[in-house]
Structure 1
Amino acid sequence: MRNAEVAGLLEEFADLLEAQGVEYKPNAYRRAAENVRDHARAIEDLAGEGGEDAVAEIDRVGDAIAAKVVEYLDTGEVEELEALREELPVDMAALTRVEGVGPKTVGTLYEELGITTLDELEAAAEAGEIREVKGFGAKTEQNILDNVAFAREAGQRQRLGDARPLAEDALGHLEGESVVERVDVAGSIRRWRDTIGDVDVLVASDDGEAVVDLFTDWPDADDVIEAGEQKASVRVDGIRVDLRVVVPDEFGAALQYFTGSKAHNVDLRNRAIDRGLKLNEYGVFDVSGVDDPDSGQRVGERLGGADESEMYGALDLPVIPPEIREGTGEIDAAADGELPDLLTEGEVRGDLHTHTEWSDGANTIGGMVEAAADRGYEYHCVTDHADGPGVFGDTGLSDDEVREQAETVAAVREDAEIDVLHGVEANIDAEGDVTTSDDLLADLDVVIASPHAALDQDEATDRLIRAVEHPYVDVLGHPTGRLINQRPGLEVDFERLAEAAAGAGTALEVNSNPARLDCNGDAVRAAVEAGAPIAVNTDAHSPAELDNVRYGVHTARRGWAEPADVVNVRDVEGLRAFLE
């Protein structure tokens, strides 16, 4: 599917139009991009079958945008977009990763100072030139300087949500081929880190050259970076995908080694050394009788390496789940028989944080409930945005509108196959106050409270503690407000916050949106250790986004979360007991 590719193109259109001061159109392009990305069918299939008319049937994709989509799919470019790029030749993606720098700012700085890149932006700020531009000042200039480093680093890593589907496409291309005996991903993407460098693919085969040929013929590959007898690298949508081929008998050893992390591997090797063993990417070897264990990679009696179980088993350990291989006590826990029984994807019974067309979602209440039921959920909660600071556009609901929505939810509930709860996503202001009235909050099934404004505070722990201690707040939504590779979010002492949440009985959310993954694994670990409840939610704005729950589950696993730690693993009676 090229949906994500086309959506990215439409988002670039929106940014360039906004940078030039065009009104209304940018939002139309962004809404169209969101719906194209989430559409169930491949955009190229729609265009091939019915042209512009078929593409225009996608919600919020008008005739003009549909024509541009078809033009791009047919020719590889859009004439109007190429003209916009020539008029504004800036690295929009990099520049807008700087906190506080949006498309309009990019347009102004290009017009006034000719800034096109991050390096030029940093140089202008260091020279004091930005403060001289009308509408800017010393504070804005300093903010840019403070955030350029984050923007530069973010540009070097890919979000898990962008890389993981690509990795699975690579596996799908290789699986089932006669020359491929086994295939898996390795590296940080197998550990489900929130960002990754390159996609690492490992194959077991006795015919490395045939596998390399198969890999470099992958239709999705934009270009081949390099290709050898056992290794190859290609680039897909700007992401590097590296292939390594090993003999089948060494696949488990290579998978363990290349999955990492470095800290985990160091701890594991030290445990091996203490037992007279040698552990590396080729297997595990008994070197207790070898004079010089470092004289080669395959020295000593080989004890195993075809599977990871042989690698860990030789060290008297069970296989440690990839998500917690970070050198943070997992090996000691495994040795003591105290590894956590980690949460799995199928154990989440419902989503407590979702949006509909009543606020900024893309579907009806009934449509979202039906989609939840189709996924096997036992319950679903509608939590549209309430009015408040930081809510996008004019999408937040007033108290009266939330009460009006309750009537629609009640009507949907009567015919639904699953339990339907009604709530709201309220807003936390800069002081920690929840800005929706207590009278309304008291009447709702679920109250999510989230920070949407003042996200540049130096330290926000006290602010969030005040929110989790609010008597009607059930879940603290996306606590830091971060957007991965776009803004760092609030600085929070999660040990203090988790202690407060445990005391108040308020759940900390793992927001499964791949752009958020907030809480992250470290924050989840703090919650688990403090005994604070966790909620794994998607913050879905469309039915397709309900599937993002897997990213939240694996993020929770990185924090050692077990099913008992997660409130929406409970059945509906257990959930209601928590909420009450």
Structure 2
Amino acid sequence: MSRNAEVAHQLEIFADLLEADDVEYKPNAYRRAAENIREYHEPIEDLADEGKSAVERIDGVGDAIAAKVVEYIETGEIEELADLKGKLPVDIEALTRVEGVGPKTVGTLYDALGITTLDELADAAEEGRIQEVKGFGAKTEANIRENVAFAREAQKRERLGDARPLADDVLAYLRGVDEVEQAEVAGSIRRWRDTIGDVDVLVAATESEAVIDAFVELPAASDVIEAGEHKAGLRVDDIRVDLRVVIPDEFGSALQYFTGSKDHNVELRNLAIDRGLKMNEYGVFDVADVDDPDAGQRVGERIAGETEESMYVALDLPLIPPEIREGTGEIDAAREGTLPDLVAEGDVRGDLHTHTDWSDGRASVAEMAQAAAERGYDYYAVTDHASGPGMVGGVGLSDDEIREQMDAIEDAREKTGSELTLLHGIETNIDADGGLSTADDLLADLDVVVASPHAALGQDRETATDRLARAVEHPSVDILGHPTGRLINEREGLDLDVARIAEAAADAGTALEINADPARLDLHGELVRVAIGAGATIAVDTDGHAPGALAYIRYGVHTARRGWCEADDVLNTRDVDELRAFLH
């Protein structure tokens, strides 16, 4: 079970505390190392076992950071990080969840007001003390006050992208236990919600004690919360993992029941009652001839439950995909035979929004194209950042640099051969009025244009909707990138009338993006459903900044499934000729 994410998380905390302590240069080095460790294809603990020099094989990990990684793997802590926490005893993760509060702000407010927690920050903002600190003002204080509630809510749930890799590792570990017959995740993580409360795991086994014993020995576990006869709970890197063990004959019914959602299950149970049936986590029971159906959970003749599909068949329904079990019309659709044939990851034939080291990516054009080819893609687009609103630190390319990149793309085309169609595009920036940061004549010369909002993300609903509607109507714009601009658990993004934008996009032949970066998942599932209902085409892209990030496509596909997308709704399930026809 890989500890890459766990180690990366420690380095990210280190980076934030260094920045809060006003240390220059080092924070970015730690963040780059953390990102590369998180995406590295080998378990970091195996490299650490080989020694510091093996850890240094990871790009961006030098001698000092490698030594700290080995120290953490061997001892469970980093002494220098512990010392820094003692010097700055702040809850850096909670405080920086407040939009507009970065690590440097945390350091300044600690020095000036002794603020260490979210509650203390909220109190200081309510009492008007923040605006009295040098460099702050009434407007900054008001923004902090308004965003604390969002930060509090974000504390309660983990991003899917942080929890799902852990869940996959836990499943792999449990499936390797001899007594385990079946294992699957349940709850919101199985429905691929963009945030989850904890990781729920369900196991089928006749010897539950042996499974519980193996579970509490999970190598990555930092704390055993509880351990009973059939249930146990652990904490792994601040994420709670709950295990439930059931007998094999009841695995299907338990999996259906614990996948949820509550609204979905209530509707199913009511449907069962109407048919003289009782439906619960133990199966479906015929209670038509039972005097007291509430006498117990297993009363009556059991007619389903060994498999999840049997639970639906007992109600004359097809198996409903987990992603759409939200009580929002899926049961009616199942009864009417109109359930969508949801898009699958294997349907995706290319990625149309990615970055290279020409802007803020971490790999060359050739390396990214090779990664796309290895995924079996038919086509792949390089869409580096253009300069403009929201781009800082020289990240974006000027128009002249974009034209220079055309030669690099042509060179890469020759190296990748005819197996992969390599497209050249740009991610241009949408300004506050809906204009673009790249010249029209240049946009017209590119294969694909992604237009994205990176600034003015606090606009009101009407202004923001007008702005993006204007952008999708630009004749050269092919895809509206991460439309709301949200960052999960960090900022809410734009409040939009997505139906109106989708109608404008459909009329203009512009696709709306599901940005599959697990920090974004933007558009999210509910808005995707609105968009396709208004006739829009969806593009599922990774916004990948490194070869490993192309694997994020699975988060985008499952988000599309949550939005009831079929393959025909998704632009990049089309072949090259169909894609070119849409783009031009």
* TM-score for both structures, normalised by structure 2: 0.97
Q: For residue 140 of structure 2, what is the aligned residue in structure 1?
A: 140
Q: For residue 542 of structure 2, what is the aligned residue in structure 1?
A: 538
Offset at residue 305 of structure 1 (A): 0.7
Structure 2 residue 484 is the aligned partner of structure 1 residue 480: yes
Contact 2:278 2:286 (C-alpha < 8 Å) held by counterparts:
yes
In structure 1, give the amino acid aligned to 2:9: G
Offset at residue 73 of structure 1 (A): 2.6
Q: For residue 460 of structure 2, what is the aligned residue in structure 1?
A: 458
Q: For residue 276 of structure 2, what is the aligned residue in structure 1?
A: 276
Q: For residue 297 of structure 2, what is the aligned residue in structure 1?
A: 297
Q: 1:234 to 1:277 in 2, by over 3 A?
A: same
Q: For residue 421 of structure 1, what is the aligned residue in structure 2?
A: 423
Q: For residue 405 of structure 2, what is the aligned residue in structure 1?
A: 405
Offset at residue 93 of structure 1 (A): 0.3
Within 5 Å, which residues of 2 pair with 1:488-499?
488-499=492-503
Q: Which of these residues, 501, 504, 508, is aligned with residue 504 of structure 1?
A: 508
Deviations 1:211-256 (A, max 9, x none): 1112112222222111111111111111111111111111111111
Deviations 1:6-34 (A, max 9, x none): 22222222211211222222222222222
Q: 1:77 to 1:218 in 2, by over 3 A?
A: closer
Q: For residue 328 of structure 1, what is the aligned residue in structure 2?
A: 328
Offset at residue 178 of structure 1 (A): 3.1
Within 5 Å, which residues of 2 pair with 1:164-563?
164-416=164-416, 417-459=419-461, 460-563=464-567
Give the 3-state SS of the residue equivalent to 1:535 in structure 2: strand
Aligned equivalents of 1:65, 1:438: Cα separation in 2:
45
Aligned equivalents of 2:331, 2:316: Cα separation in 1:
11
Offset at residue 393 of structure 1 (A): 2.0
Q: Which moved more, 1:451-460 or 1:503-512?
A: 451-460
Structure 2 residue 86 is the aligned partner of structure 1 residue 82: no
Aligned equivalents of 1:543, 1:392: Cα separation in 2:
23
Aligned equivalents of 2:22, 2:172: Cα separation in 1:
44
Offset at residue 357 of structure 1 (A): 0.5
In structure 2, give the amino acid aligned to 1:103: P
Q: 1:244 to 1:110 in 2, by over 3 A?
A: same
Offset at residue 457 of structure 1 (A): 2.0
Give the 3-state SS of the residue equivalent to 1:220 in structure 2: coil
Offset at residue 173 of structure 1 (A): 1.2
Structure 2 residue 133 is the aligned partner of structure 1 residue 129: no
Deviations 1:279-322 (A, max 9, x none): 11111111222232222211222111111121101111000000
In structure 2, give the amino acid aligned to 1:535: A
Aligned equivalents of 1:80, 1:249: Cα separation in 2:
52
Q: Which of these residues, 537, 552, 568, is aligned with residue 564 of structure 1?
A: 568
Contact 2:383 2:425 (C-alpha < 8 Å) held by counterparts:
yes
Q: For residue 3 of structure 1, what is the aligned residue in structure 2?
A: 4
Q: 1:65 to 1:180 in 2, by over 3 A?
A: closer
Give the 3-state SS of the residue equivalent to 1:80 in structure 2: helix
Aligned equivalents of 2:433, 2:452: Cα separation in 1:
13
Give the 3-state SS of the residue equivalent to 2:384 in structure 1: coil
Aligned equivalents of 2:565, 2:372: Cα separation in 1:
23
Aligned equivalents of 1:83, 1:178: Cα separation in 2:
43
Offset at residue 368 of structure 1 (A): 0.4
Give the 3-state SS of the residue equivalent to 1:434 in structure 2: coil
Percent of aligned positions that are identical: 71
Q: 1:10 to 1:392 in 2, by over 3 A?
A: farther
Deviations 1:244-271 (A, max 9, x none): 1111111111111110000101111111
Aligned equivalents of 1:219, 1:74: Cα separation in 2:
13
Within 5 Å, which residues of 2 pair with 1:75-114?
75-114=75-114
Contact 2:368 2:547 (C-alpha < 8 Å) held by counterparts:
yes
Offset at residue 70 of structure 1 (A): 2.5
Aligned equivalents of 1:230, 1:386: Cα separation in 2:
55
In structure 2, give the amino acid aligned to 1:445: D
Aligned equivalents of 1:286, 1:314: Cα separation in 2:
10
Offset at residue 576 of structure 1 (A): 0.4
Deviations 1:415-441 (A, max 9, x none): 213110000000011111111110110
Give the 3-state SS of the residue equivalent to 1:383 in structure 2: strand
Give the 3-state SS of the residue equivalent to 1:546 in structure 2: helix
Offset at residue 573 of structure 1 (A): 0.7
Structure 2 residue 33 is the aligned partner of structure 1 residue 22: no
Pairs aligned (count): 579
Q: Which moved more, 1:528-537 or 1:453-462?
A: 453-462
Q: Which moved more, 1:223-232 or 1:551-560?
A: 223-232
Contact 2:423 2:447 (C-alpha < 8 Å) held by counterparts:
yes
Deviations 1:431-490 (A, max 9, x none): 111111101100000000111111222322111111111111100101111111111111
Q: For residue 117 of structure 1, what is the aligned residue in structure 2?
A: 117
Q: Which moved more, 1:429-438 or 1:22-31?
A: 22-31
Q: Which moved more, 1:196-205 or 1:6-15?
A: 6-15
Query: Unmatched 5+ residue regions in structure 2?
Result: none
Query: Unmatched 5+ residue regions in structure 1?
Result: none
Deviations 1:310-368 (A, max 9, x none): 11011110000000000010001001110000000111000000100000000000000
Contact 2:506 2:537 (C-alpha < 8 Å) held by counterparts:
yes
Q: Which moved more, 1:277-286 or 1:67-76?
A: 67-76
Aligned equivalents of 1:70, 1:290: Cα separation in 2:
64
Aligned equivalents of 1:32, 1:244: Cα separation in 2:
36
Q: Which moved more, 1:253-262 or 1:31-40?
A: 31-40
Offset at residue 176 of structure 1 (A): 4.3
Q: For residue 32 of structure 1, what is the aligned residue in structure 2?
A: 33
Aligned equivalents of 1:256, 1:73: Cα separation in 2:
38
Q: Which moved more, 1:178-187 or 1:39-48?
A: 39-48
In structure 2, give the amino acid aligned to 1:557: R
Offset at residue 36 of structure 1 (A): 1.9
Q: 1:192 to 1:284 in 2, by over 3 A?
A: same
Aligned equivalents of 1:52, 1:280: Cα separation in 2:
53
Aligned equivalents of 1:165, 1:344: Cα separation in 2:
19
Offset at residue 63 of structure 1 (A): 2.4
Structure 2 residue 580 is the aligned partner of structure 1 residue 576: yes
Offset at residue 392 of structure 1 (A): 4.0
Offset at residue 2 of structure 1 (A): 2.2
In structure 2, give the amino acid aligned to 1:244: R
Give the 3-state SS of the residue equivalent to 2:245 in structure 1: strand
Offset at residue 390 of structure 1 (A): 0.9
Aligned equivalents of 1:395, 1:521: Cα separation in 2:
30
* TM-score for both structures, normalised by structure 1: 0.98
Give the 3-state SS of the residue equivalent to 1:297 in structure 2: coil
In structure 1, give the amino acid aligned to 2:454: H
Contact 2:3 2:220 (C-alpha < 8 Å) held by counterparts:
no
